Amino acid sequence: MKSLAILGSTGSVGKSTLDVIRKNKDEFKIELLTARTNFRLMAEQCKEFTPKFVYLENKEAQKSFLDELGTNNPQVTLLSDEKELNQIIASEDLEIVVAAMVGIVGLKPVFQAIKHGKHILLANKESYVVAGEILNNLSKKTGATIFPIDSEHSAIHQCLMGVKNKESISRLILTGSGGPFLNRDINDFKNITPKEATTHPIWNMGDKISVDSSTMMNKCLEIIEAKWLFGFDDIDVLIHPEGIIHSLVEFKDKSLIAQLSIPDMKIPIAYGLGFPERINSGGDSLDFEKISNLSFVKPDSKKFPSLVLAKDCINSGGTSFSTLNAANEECVASFLEGRIGYLDIHKIISEVLDKSDIKMVEEIGDIFEADMQSREMTKELININ
């Protein structure tokens, strides 16, 4: 049995991971589950999956969790702080760490898991976007593996199976659904509400990534994630509203390989959990007879200017990735709270990138420093907006 930690088990990716585990109970045992505040769902998950350890970041939620779990329930040890969490992530009993929490909070536990040579199933793109180079270098030293479960990167991973020579690849093509505003008039973007931005046409995801999908910042982060994962700077984006083709690789001879399935995160998660074998995902088959159309559109960078930021940051390198990510996290949170308008998101991020000093990254501390500075500047701009 493979032993597993799910960081962010109460979120959309965390729940899908548990759905896959439910279908493969004899193959996996759960060592650790973590979340921020959702103690009720955590207690339910504990009753069903009996993890050895649980961590809730919020202190109030820790107390409520113990009440909710009750006394007649499985013996679970509730970890009280980050230090204890780090010890469990480092422990020899743990093989696989599913990084499914949202935002830069993922960086410290992902760093810890890589430092201790774990197999990381990465959904938490933010940590890898900001620190890809450092995490890749560290994983080479410790033998850790960083395995993507983002659907697009899982698709590229599958398309690259058996490719021995990088020279044979001519380009990577990341597909994207285009989000909820693909066909909305650009003149109406100023009226977009948080509710509209968090209602994705085909994927059911957490609020932050849903807003990122609507602005196409998600695709921007995915381009950077793909750069660190596969070692390519030349990555194209293709809008494919049906979300059936999850990405493609084109080879030197102009042959293309694509990966297809219905849009369901359980499928790339099962690929990651089972690799190199294939396991039951619990997802449905793709019914070709029911697909009336597969369409493709060139991304519109005037409507979705976030896409251009990926190339800018790749050219600038260093702390530009942390500056971009922190400004985006702050802006999305403020937009969801109704403190700034939809168009302010890109406006403020661009201003922060323009005004920030981009530095070389030599150690992980440089990333946290750039993250803090970017958040401070973003908050100032949000307040004067």
Ligand X SMILES: NC(=O)c1ccc[n+]([C@@H]2O[C@H](COP(=O)([O-])OP(=O)(O)OC[C@H]3O[C@@H](n4cnc5c(N)ncnc54)[C@H](OP(=O)(O)O)[C@@H]3O)[C@@H](O)[C@H]2O)c1
Footprint of ligand X on this chain (CB under 6 A)? Answer: 8-14, 34-38, 57, 100-102, 105, 123-126, 150, 203, 205-206, 208-209, 265
| Closer by beta carbon to ligand X, 38 or else 214 | 38
**Least distance in angstroms from the C-beta of 182 to ligand X:** 18
Sheet with 96-99: list strands edge to edge: 77-79, 53-56, 28-35, 2-7, 96-99, 119-122, 145-148
CB of 92 to ligand X, least distance (A): 24
Q: Which is nearer to ligand X, 57 or 300 (CB)?
A: 57
Which CB, 153 or 381, lies closer to ligand X? 153
Q: In what order do the strands lie in the sheet with 245-251?
A: 235-239, 169-176, 245-251, 256-260
Q: Which is nearer to ligand X, 13 or 69 (CB)?
A: 13
Q: Residue 264 class from Cβ within 10 Å (0-12 exposed, 13-18 middle, 19+ buried)?
A: buried
Length of the chain: 385
Asked if residue 171 lies in contact with residue 234, where contact means CB atoms within 8 angstroms, the answer is yes
Q: Is the CB of 10 or the CB of 356 nearer to ligand X?
A: 10
Distance CA 214, CA 199 (A): 9
Q: Choose between 58 and 316: whose C-beta lies nearer to ligand X.
A: 58
Q: Which residues contact 48 (CB under 8 A, 6 or more apart)?
A: 18, 22
Question: CA 58 to CA 352: how far, in whole Å?
Answer: 30
Residue nearest to ligand X according to CB distances in the complex: 11
CB of 149 to ligand X, least distance (A): 7
Q: Burial-class residue 247 by CB neighbours within 10 Å (0-12, 13-18, 19+).
A: buried
Of 42 and 169, which has the nearer Cβ to ligand X? Answer: 42
Give min distance, CB of 100 to ligand X, in A. 5
Give the pair of three-digit tokens for residue 146.
Answer: 């960083």
In the complex, least distance from residue 183 CB atom to ligand X, rounded to whole angstroms: 22
The nearest distance, CB 255 to ligand X, in angstroms, is 28
Quick one: tokens of 157? 């991973």
Q: How far is the CB of 14 from ligand X (least distance, A)?
A: 5
